[in-house]
Structure 1
Amino acid sequence: MSVQSAPPTSASIRAVRWSRRGRLRLGARWNGIAATIAVIVIIGLPVFALIGPYPIDPFRPDPNAIGIAPNGVHWFGTDGNGMDVFARTIEAAKLDVPISVAATLLALVVGVPIGLFATTGRVGDAVMRVVDAFAALPIIVIAIVAIQLMGGGAWNVILAIAIVGAPRFVRLSRASAIALRSSRYVEAAVAIGCSPMRVAFNHVFRNAYGVVLVQATLTAANALGTIAALNFLGVGVNPPVPTWGAMISDGASMLIRGEWWAAAFPTLAMLLVIASFNVIAGAIENRIERVERAR
């Protein structure tokens, strides 16, 4: 004898609906809190580096305090030159984080318009062949070659990272433009005589900017890692300006002696900022999904 389950009642259906809404609201709230903390980390570190002052000068070596472990005076210890690791870790955020953001913005400003207009014709095909050629090469190699041609310095690092990141925005904006150009509102805009510029930015980009923002935050995280790699190899920002990559490179030689702090704390700071960019990207993506479900 089989037992048939009772049909769901209206009360049980409402309970399921409320539970789903509650989970969605709770998830959205946690995503918002995490994104807020991430923004505070990304903005707070450079701002703290700007306003200072530090307990110890990040540029002043102390011959009597070389390779000291973390203590009450030197919170993150000292490096092989006797300079305070905490002060230099915070000071490095003043340069590394703005460089990654500036390079991402430059790549976005250059890459998005090219992708929006490179959808058809021989010019579009030629642009995508160049983009595909860039994508086939290692990112770090392109950045090193660009810096070697232009020279070191913060501005040249920004240009090199922008050159590396722009093809991502070209591909993404081009794919969005191709997907949206057959939409009814785009066809209607073309039918009433809107210019290609207006169609591209006022109709196509406005409906794809969320995806571009997600890519921008991920590109900023990748840019920060690329900047650290360049400075680790000694082809980025010139010393004595502290950068996380250069600090990790200098601290790597101290690991043999068991002096881990000179490389560990800059690495943790860099990973914290990279994770913050990824959290913001996830929050934006979740927001886009909620908007799509609401439609």
Structure 2
Amino acid sequence: MSAQTEQTINSEATAAPPPNPRIQSWKNFYKKLAKNKAAMVGLSLIIFFIVVALIGPYFTTHDPYEPNVMNKLAEPSAEHWFGTDHHGRDIFTRIIHGMSITLYVGFFSVVLGAIVGVILGVVSGYYGRLVDTVIMRIMDVLLAFPGILLALAIISILGGSINNVIIAVGIFSIPVFARIVRGSTLAVRKLEYIDAVKALGASDARIIFKHILPNVLSPIIVQGTLSIATSILTASALSFLGLGAQPPIPEWGAMLSDGRNYMYDAPHVALFPGLAIVVVVLAFNIFGDGLRDALDPKSKN
């Protein structure tokens, strides 16, 4: 064997293995997402909010529940960064403690709506005919009600509490996920490789979980991100109306409701909870828009 041949064999043996397609796909996705500066700002804010919700309460110096009537409606200062409310409680501390409540309601209400909606959407799109007709007509009935009115009706039946808000917001999120997943399932079901898998004797469950669901994840992820913003707004609205979190829980919508009585004398009581809601909702919306662009196969690299 010549020296040149031996060198060629050794170089081929030590050559880098071909890139993993899944890893390469994630790299391409991140490159697309990173090009959208607004989406990266939204992602950074979301990560910041999650970190604050997890560890922020351990670093606050005031009790979010303990009233101090001698210091009520105090303006923002070095001791009370966002001032105090009508009970003398530190608003900054209450906003930090309320962040975990807001994210908890937003995430879990969307998870509830997504799980049920995805199941109904896949079943409806895959089996079609009578199953599709029955499921979609039920979804149409739910969509006929404005989201906030449907949530109000559910809360009126279940009663006002954080968990009931999650149920109410989750229920009105179901039709959106169901319709999106149904449309994607109808498109994937018509592909030739699905017919080939059926011909090989694969069960319906295997086809749905292994071949259909992975192909409809993109719209689910995008809709889930955008739905979190809607859920936070709806939960805050319910608490503002007194049907969500009950006093003295530091939920932002309830804090905003308390502050409306002092708009002229102490506007900071309503200003800072309102700004917190706006910033969180905006972060999820712009990140969701960036996700939609990054996951769109038709978008340019």
Would you identify which runs of 4 or more consecutive aligned residues in structure 1 move more than 6 Å? none
Match of 1:200 in 2: 208
Percent identity of paired positions between Structure 1 and Structure 2:
32
**CA distance in 2 between partners of 1:130 and 1:89 (Å):** 39
Would the alpha carbon gap of residues 293 and 184 (structure 1) be closer, same or farther in structure 2, given more than 3 Å must change? Answer: farther
Would the alpha carbon gap of residues 143 and 32 (structure 1) be closer, same or farther in structure 2, given more than 3 Å must change? Answer: closer
Match of 2:75 among 61, 69, 86: 69
Would the alpha carbon gap of residues 203 and 40 (structure 1) be closer, same or farther in structure 2, given more than 3 Å must change? Answer: same
**CA distance in 2 between partners of 1:187 and 1:147 (Å):** 45
Q: How far does residue 132 in structure 1 lie from its aligned partner after superposition?
A: 0.8
Q: How far does residue 279 in structure 1 lie from its aligned partner after superposition?
A: 2.6
Instruction: Find the residue that maps to 2:59 and give its secondary structure.
Output: coil
The answer (yes or no) to whether the contact 2:105–2:166 under 8 Å persists in 1 is yes
Would the alpha carbon gap of residues 194 and 132 (structure 1) be closer, same or farther in structure 2, given more than 3 Å must change? Answer: same
**CA distance in 2 between partners of 1:164 and 1:154 (Å):** 16
Match of 1:48 among 55, 64, 67: 55
Amino acid at match of 1:195: S
**CA distance in 2 between partners of 1:222 and 1:89 (Å):** 19
Instruction: Find the residue that maps to 1:267 and give its secondary structure.
Output: helix
**Deviation string, structure 1 residues 136-176 (Cα, Å, up to 9, x no partner):** 11111111111121122222111111111111111110011
**Deviation string, structure 1 residues 221-243 (Cα, Å, up to 9, x no partner):** 10000000000000012211110
Amino acid at match of 1:242: P
The answer (yes or no) to whether the contact 1:49–1:94 under 8 Å persists in 2 is no
Q: How far does residue 65 in structure 1 lie from its aligned partner after superposition?
A: 1.0
Amino acid at match of 1:99: V
Match of 2:293 among 268, 286, 289: 286
**Deviation string, structure 1 residues 181-234 (Cα, Å, up to 9, x no partner):** 111222222222222222222212211101110000111110000000000000
Structure 2 regions of 5+ residues with no counterpart? 1-30
Instruction: Find the residue that maps to 1:77 and give its secondary structure.
Output: coil
Match of 2:131 in 1: 123
Match of 1:85 in 2: 91
Match of 2:276 among 256, 269, 289: 269
Instruction: Find the residue that maps to 2:132 and give its secondary structure.
Output: helix
Structure 1 regions of 5+ residues with no counterpart? 1-23
Match of 1:134 in 2: 142
**Deviation string, structure 1 residues 237-290 (Cα, Å, up to 9, x no partner):** 221111000000000110032x2111111111111111121132123212213x
Match of 2:21 in 1: none
RMSD, matched Cα = 2.0
Report how many residues are paired.
269
Instruction: Find the residue that maps to 2:232 and give its secondary structure.
Output: helix
Match of 2:198 in 1: 190
The answer (yes or no) to whether the contact 2:101–2:251 under 8 Å persists in 1 is yes
Match of 2:110 among 82, 104, 127: 104
**CA distance in 2 between partners of 1:251 and 1:132 (Å):** 38
TM-score, with length taken from structure 1: 0.85
Instruction: Find the residue that maps to 2:71 and give its secondary structure.
Output: coil
**CA distance in 2 between partners of 1:94 and 1:179 (Å):** 39
Instruction: Find the residue that maps to 1:193 and give its secondary structure.
Output: coil
